[in-house]
């Protein structure tokens, strides 16, 4: 029961925080907005899946090399969250490199 609560409440709070940041932050570039929207969309998709399937998310992509090395099992929502977050970090590093005063 605690696992379901944690895996539902924490993503709700994180998604609401990201949505608030996207709406209220005035100095975001288009790329940053797209990355944050990708994280929000993935989070909302996983939450929808959890509500629809009694606290579980259906993972359907299995990555690895042969049967002996499995590196990841995920769904498109997880992929959206991960790619959005990684791209956002990369954009922030690029922005800070371009403008050292923004650090």
Q: What is the pLDDT of residue 61?
A: 77
Query: How many domains does the structure of the chain reveal?
Result: 1
Residue stretches of the chain with pLDDT short of 70: 1, 99-103
pTM passes above 0.85: no
Q: What is the pLDDT of residue 76?
A: 85
- Residue 38: HSE in the Cβ half-sphere, 13 Å Cα cutoff: 18
Structural domain containing residue 65:
2-102
Q: What is the pLDDT of residue 4?
A: 72
Q: What is the pLDDT of residue 11?
A: 87
CB 8 within 8 A of CB 55: yes
Number of neighbours of residue 47 by Cβ within 10 angstroms: 17
């Amino acid at each position: 029961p605690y696992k379901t609560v944690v895996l539902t409440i924490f993503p709700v709070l994180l998604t609401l925080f990201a949505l608030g940041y996207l709406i209220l932050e005035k100095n975001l570039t288009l790329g940053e907005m797209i990355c944050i929207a990708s994280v929000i969309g993935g989070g909302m998709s996983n939450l929808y899946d959890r509500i629809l399937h009694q606290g579980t998310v259906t993972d359907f992509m299995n990555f690895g090399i042969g049967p002996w090395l499995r590196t990841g099992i995920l769904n498109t929502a997880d992929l959206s969250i991960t790619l959005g977050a990684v791209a956002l970090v990369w954009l922030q590093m690029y922005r800070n490199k371009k403008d050292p005063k923004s650090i």
